[in-house]
Chain A
Amino acid sequence: MSRLAVIRRLVGVSPQAGLSTSQEALISNSLEAFSKSHAFYHSPTSWFANKEFVERFGDFLMLHHAVSDQALSKDKFEHAFAAACKWAKHIVGETPSKTNPGHDVTINNARISLKTQADESCESGSVLISKWMELGKGPWQYNALLQRFSTHIGNYEHILILRKLARYRVHGKMPKGTRKYKKVPPDWLHYQLLEIPKQLLEYAVKYPIFYTTTDSDQDKGLLPGGCYVYGNPYLMAEEDPTKASSDVILELSFDGGSERKLRLRNLDVRFCIQHAEWKIHI
């Protein structure tokens, strides 16, 4: 529909039914949201995020935040991502069922798993995915659990994570060795879209250092634990990557509570590929 047709439709020359006061307010809020300052970025080397993609997705974010203070949830992210990819002329496949243990969407025949991170403690330097997958009712052995993770990541080629970053400012003088922040009402929304390289996860499956936590839940028979991954996954095959660095590059934790799930923690964003970023004044 042309711009003129939309304007005509909205302001009074349409055969359609009218808008109520609250609906009209909502449209008005949306228009106001679109008029706010914003900055959208995309990586020139991204395999899918081009100008059209970031614009379409960014507009969706502005529209969403015209009616909600909450971060974009996973289901909305999935929808907005597919819509923006279509807008950018990518081939978007059928969405699999919600209970599909693998990918969430296919773009140009590549299977993609979509994740979100938007908790209040979301810091810019570290990725946390609170529920990568459910661990089900099978045996609670760490090697077997890691194998399930390995099988799971075999179901998709790319893992993308949408992060809503919180804004903080330093409050007063900080005592040595502590960090004291006071949250202020953010005047800018900040989202970024990262890809976790699959190579990194395959490396994690290969070089785990298992641990158990002390707060074991004996009556459930499940020992919470996980594995740390050290080293440098990008070294050449003939070198021992685990000796390259003593830094933890990521952690996979097995949560034995009633949910029985696998989390990914402490992944340094420097190991990820940034595809796009949106900053929106609210």
Chain B
Amino acid sequence: MPAPIIKNPKMTKEEITRIAQELKLLTTSQLRWVESVIGQFQLPNEFHRNPNSDWITESVLNAIGDSLRIHHAFSRQALSKDRFEYAFERALTQSGFVARLANSRTNRGHDLTVNDIPVSLKTEAASNIRADTLHISKFMELGRGEWHLQTLRDLFLEHLQGYERIFQFRCLSSGPVNYFYELVEIPKTLLQEAENAQLEVRENSRQNPKPGYGYVRDLQSGLLKYALYFDGGTERKLQIKNIRKDLCFVHASWSFQSGVLE
């Protein structure tokens, strides 16, 4: 006897009958869509969670994984920040956490609150994404105030006061068949080390105001941990470049195949 598609042991014969009845009412087009969705879930997948992760439980892992697979059934584009926020909130809530998205989309502080902890969420999905370092292309806007690196660095440190944890959801492979995502936490203490950053203005730049860097290094080895980039010119935003992933905590990864529904 072949294995059933629905093998949830909690599913009763009545529920199976109900689904069968509902299927009978569908039009040909609807039936084809349902069949395509089922087909998505039968494609190969590997989801991993770090056993030391406090928020990515098995349930959260699978819920985010299902959201990703469904998203890519409809689209080849990487999950956007707002969709990730929504999927993360829903996965946490379904798994027993108290999660709530921030009210305002333009809120300068946190994006999400999980069990009363304010969280900042970032995404990275550039085509030149690197596996071993993280890049945040827009950590915050730097506004129209005084363009002085020390002042701007202090603005960054002040910004960090708005949340307790920082996560980045990264799309390392974006189809058209194979997808790979990971969720990485950037320790806030690591970013607070910017207090001692080595600040340098790019004097040769033709931009106005001139951009600058804030290098944060390991005090003993001198190795770069990450660099703040104060993007001048018309952009006036803060980027964070080359954050070493070995200094961060990888909570989970999702690897799967997907085919766009037809």
In the complex, chain B residues whose CB is within 8 Å of the CB of A152 = none
**Which positions 4-29 of chain A face chain B at CB distance < 8 Å?**
6-7, 9-24, 26-28
Does B76 count as interface, using CB distance less than 8 angstroms? Answer: yes
Pick out which of these stretches binds chain A: B7-15, B111-119, B152-160, B194-202: B7-15
**Which positions 46-93 of chain A face chain B at CB distance < 8 Å?**
52, 55-56, 59-60, 63-64, 67-70, 73, 75-76, 79-80, 83, 86-87
Pick out which of these stretches binds chain A: B30-38, B179-187, B239-247: B30-38
Choose from B30, B42, B70, B75 the contact partner of A79 (Cβ within 8 Å).
B75
Does A35 count as interface, using CB distance less than 8 angstroms? Answer: yes
A70 with B86: in contact, given A19-B7, A59-B33 (CB under 8 Å)?
A: yes
Give the Cβ gap from B185 to chain A, nearest Cβ, in Å: 24
**Which positions 200-219 of chain B face chain A at CB distance < 8 Å?**
208
Pick out which of these stretches binds chain A: B18-26, B129-137, B161-169, B250-258: B18-26
The prevalent SS among residues of A at the interface is helix
Choose from A16, A55, A60, A257 the contact partner of B42 (Cβ within 8 Å).
A16
The answer to whether B74 touches A64, judged by C-beta atoms less than 8 angstroms apart, is: yes
Give the Cβ gap from B236 to chain A, nearest Cβ, in Å: 8
The prevalent SS among residues of B at the interface is helix
Please tell me the number of chain B residues within 8 Å of chain A, measured between CB atoms: 50
Chain A interface bracket (under 10, 10 to 19, 20 to 34, 35 or more): 35 or more
In the complex, chain A residues whose CB is within 8 Å of the CB of B19 = 10-11, 27-28, 31
In the complex, chain B residues whose CB is within 8 Å of the CB of A56 = 29
Complex alpha-carbon distance, A257 and B2, angstroms: 60
The answer to whether B6 touches A10, judged by C-beta atoms less than 8 angstroms apart, is: yes
In the complex, chain A residues whose CB is within 8 Å of the CB of B261 = 79, 83
Give the Cβ gap from A78 to chain B, nearest Cβ, in Å: 9
The answer to whether B5 touches A9, judged by C-beta atoms less than 8 angstroms apart, is: yes
Choose from A14, A68, A257 the contact partner of B4 (Cβ within 8 Å).
A14
Give the Cβ gap from A82 to chain B, nearest Cβ, in Å: 9
The answer to whether A21 touches B10, judged by C-beta atoms less than 8 angstroms apart, is: yes
Give the Cβ gap from B23 to chain A, nearest Cβ, in Å: 5
In the complex, chain A residues whose CB is within 8 Å of the CB of B82 = 70
Does B3 count as interface, using CB distance less than 8 angstroms? Answer: yes
Does B234 count as interface, using CB distance less than 8 angstroms? Answer: yes
The answer to whether B16 touches A63, judged by C-beta atoms less than 8 angstroms apart, is: no
The answer to whether B70 touches A67, judged by C-beta atoms less than 8 angstroms apart, is: yes
Give the Cβ gap from B80 to chain A, nearest Cβ, in Å: 8
Does A132 count as interface, using CB distance less than 8 angstroms? Answer: no
A3 with B31: in contact, given A12-B6, A22-B63, A76-B74 (CB under 8 Å)?
A: yes
In the complex, which of the residues A22, A23, A76, A87 has the most CB atoms of chain B within 10 Å of its own CB atom?
A: A23
Does A30 count as interface, using CB distance less than 8 angstroms? Answer: yes
Give the Cβ gap from A76 to chain B, nearest Cβ, in Å: 5
Complex alpha-carbon distance, A63 and B74, angstroms: 10
A258 with B6: in contact, given A6-B34, A31-B23 (CB under 8 Å)?
A: no
In the complex, chain B residues whose CB is within 8 Å of the CB of A59 = 27, 29-30, 33
Complex alpha-carbon distance, A35 and B175, angstroms: 32
Does A220 count as interface, using CB distance less than 8 angstroms? Answer: yes
In the complex, chain B residues whose CB is within 8 Å of the CB of A19 = 5-8, 38, 41
The answer to whether B234 touches A258, judged by C-beta atoms less than 8 angstroms apart, is: yes
Choose from B5, B24, B29, B262 the contact partner of A12 (Cβ within 8 Å).
B5
Give the Cβ gap from B175 to chain A, nearest Cβ, in Å: 12
In the complex, chain B residues whose CB is within 8 Å of the CB of A15 = 2-3
The answer to whether B5 touches A35, judged by C-beta atoms less than 8 angstroms apart, is: no
The answer to whether A30 touches B33, judged by C-beta atoms less than 8 angstroms apart, is: yes
Choose from A10, A17, A70 the contact partner of B83 (Cβ within 8 Å).
A70
Give the Cβ gap from B216 to chain A, nearest Cβ, in Å: 26
Mask for B118-144, Cβ within 8 A of A = 1, else 0?
000000000000000000000000000
Does B77 count as interface, using CB distance less than 8 angstroms? Answer: yes
Does B149 count as interface, using CB distance less than 8 angstroms? Answer: no
Does A94 count as interface, using CB distance less than 8 angstroms? Answer: no
In the complex, chain A residues whose CB is within 8 Å of the CB of B7 = 18-19
Choose from B33, B41, B208 the contact partner of A23 (Cβ within 8 Å).
B41
Does B260 count as interface, using CB distance less than 8 angstroms? Answer: yes
Does A1 count as interface, using CB distance less than 8 angstroms? Answer: yes
Choose from B33, B66, B234 the contact partner of A60 (Cβ within 8 Å).
B33
Task: Give 8 nearest A-B pairs by CB, closest first.
Answer: A18-B7, A12-B4, A15-B2, A31-B22, A75-B75, A75-B77, A34-B30, A23-B41
In the complex, 28 of the A-B residue pairs with CB atoms within 8 angstroms, ordered by the A residue number, are: A3-B23, A3-B26, A3-B31, A10-B6, A11-B16, A13-B4, A14-B2, A14-B4, A19-B7, A19-B38, A22-B94, A26-B66, A27-B34, A27-B38, A34-B22, A52-B29, A59-B33, A60-B33, A63-B33, A67-B70, A73-B75, A75-B76, A79-B74, A79-B75, A79-B260, A83-B261, A86-B262, A258-B234
Known contacts A11-B19, A18-B8, A20-B41; 7 additional CB pairs below 8 A are: A6-B35, A18-B4, A19-B8, A34-B34, A55-B27, A75-B77, A80-B74
